[in-house]
Amino acid sequence: MSELPETTDVLVIGAGPTGLALAATLHARGVGCQVVDAAEEGGNYSRAVGTLPRTLEMLRELKVAERLAEAGNRAERIRIFSGDRDRNIATLRLDRLRTDFPFAVLLPQHVNEAVLLGRLRELGGDVHRPYRVSAVQQSASEVVATVTGTDGERRTVRAAYAVGADGTRSDVRKLIKAGFPGETFAQRFILADLELAEGSTPDEIHLFFSRAGAVIMGRMPGRLHRVCLSVDELPGELTAERVEALLRERGPARRRIRVLDVANESYTKIHHRVAERFRVGRVFLAGDAAHVNSPIIGQGMNLGIQDAITLGDLLARALTGGGPGVLDDYERIRLPIARDAVGVTRRINAAATVRSPVKGAVRDSLMPLTTFPPLNRRMIYRLTRLVDR
């Protein structure tokens, strides 16, 4: 990779899915940008797995949506189960959505990132690694970022605009002093990629509610299933037997899920937070730097990519004659969407993990109402964010 230039139009800080989608959008619009990332290489552990219809629609122009859809499994239904009932209590139908992408693409996040990076490179961009941004100063006309490489040498990069796409613990968010209000739940999620004795159907996502915790399960291309389990305490070593026991407490009551192997695992705390501001002057926040929520309905990566494409379009317009005023639209459009998505996720997370048998019974008796077509459509449009078109 070439030397990190000292000046650019837009400095993108962070090369997760948000930073990569933003940089690809800017390059596609002919706007100069440089991407720096503090890590020596991209992560390949279990994180997001589902790309939702609205994200696919937005990625179409970048010529990324079709590549993801070809590479991944297409989940057309989300079936919801509860407690010891064998039959699902509700089904959310993605295949009935009015969109060219009536499905969620199930694909590990690192493959998504590889597709986005490949597209960025085709468009003439790349990622400079490892470069950590430790300071951001701005004037009326530019942003000056202090960047440190592995040699320990500090350099400055001057840009018309900078974007913090640097994840949940965002340094940029702290540097621009944007508050990050919200809450952290006591529970955690275990994410594990499992080989199962009996593979489940690739075109469905299953969500199990139980008093012990929630389980979400979807099949990725190949043999592995991604399972996301909520727990009060982290187990020790995550062996196949241990996951089986956790699934027995939370998953289908009468059908034993036999786990042959645990290929990958990771853990995450459950936060629901939205930054107070998505912009301070010439510095913007996008993706997990701006909002974070439970992985229960797979919103995180999707919201980040959507932020990136909206912001990329606005920055390109601002820098190619549209003037800086158009940039006011970013926070105006994306902040309410983030608040709504985080709020919905928070409520679903709480409903999926209720402990009280009475509340659980009320939830289960109300769930079938969601199959009533207008309500089903409303829910699914909100979960897939097609409501934001």
Ligand X SMILES: Cc1cc2nc3c(=O)[nH]c(=O)nc-3n(C[C@H](O)[C@H](O)[C@H](O)COP(=O)(O)OP(=O)(O)OC[C@H]3O[C@@H](n4cnc5c(N)ncnc54)[C@H](O)[C@@H]3O)c2cc1C
Q: Which residues bind ligand X (CB under 6 A)?
A: 13-19, 36-39, 47-50, 109, 132-133, 165-167, 171, 191, 266, 268, 287-288, 295, 298-302, 304
Q: Which is nearer to ligand X, 353 or 360 (CB)?
A: 353
Rg (C-alpha) for the chain, rounded Å, is 21
Residue 274 C-beta: closest distance to ligand X, Å: 13
Residue 278 C-beta: closest distance to ligand X, Å: 13
Residue 80 C-beta: closest distance to ligand X, Å: 17
Query: Which neighbouring-strand residues pair with 218?
Result: 205, 226
The answer to whether residues 166 and 22 touch, using CB atoms and an 8 Å cutoff, is no
Q: Which is nearer to ligand X, 123 or 383 (CB)?
A: 383
Q: Which is nearer to ligand X, 55 or 82 (CB)?
A: 55
CA distance linking residue 389 with residue 387, whole number of Å: 6
* CA angle, residues 242, 247, 249, in degrees to nearest 5: 100
Q: Which is nearer to ligand X, 72 or 300 (CB)?
A: 300
Residue 48 C-beta: closest distance to ligand X, Å: 3
The answer to whether residues 228 and 190 touch, using CB atoms and an 8 Å cutoff, is yes
Place of tokens 């009533």: 372
Residue 160 C-beta: closest distance to ligand X, Å: 19
CA distance linking residue 338 with residue 360, whole number of Å: 28
Q: Which is nearer to ligand X, 304 or 360 (CB)?
A: 304
Residue 305 C-beta: closest distance to ligand X, Å: 8
Q: Which is nearer to ligand X, 13 or 31 (CB)?
A: 13
Phi, psi of 296 (to 5 degrees): -60, -35
Residue 349 C-beta: closest distance to ligand X, Å: 12
**Alpha-carbon distances of 373 from 53, 97, 369, rounded to whole Å:** 19, 11, 9
Q: List b or e across 323-346, with b for residues whose CB sees 16 or more CB atoms inside 10 angstroms.
A: eeeebeebbebbbebbeebbebbb
- Which of 22, 119, 23, 27 shows the shortest CA–CA distance to 68? 119
Q: Which is nearer to ligand X, 52 or 316 (CB)?
A: 52
Residue 113 C-beta: closest distance to ligand X, Å: 8
CA distance linking residue 55 with residue 303, whole number of Å: 8
**Helix, strand or coil, per DSSP, at residue 368:** helix
Q: Which is nearer to ligand X, 191 or 337 (CB)?
A: 191
CA distance linking residue 151 with residue 303, whole number of Å: 35
Q: Which is nearer to ligand X, 340 or 371 (CB)?
A: 340
Cβ contacts of residue 356 below 8 Å, gap of 6+?
none
Q: Which is nearer to ligand X, 109 or 210 (CB)?
A: 109
Residue 154 C-beta: closest distance to ligand X, Å: 13
**Helix, strand or coil, per DSSP, at residue 311:** helix
Residue 7 C-beta: closest distance to ligand X, Å: 18
Q: List b or e across 349-378, with b for residues whose CB sees 16 or more CB atoms inside 10 angstroms.
A: bebbbbeeeeebeebbeebeebeeeeebbe
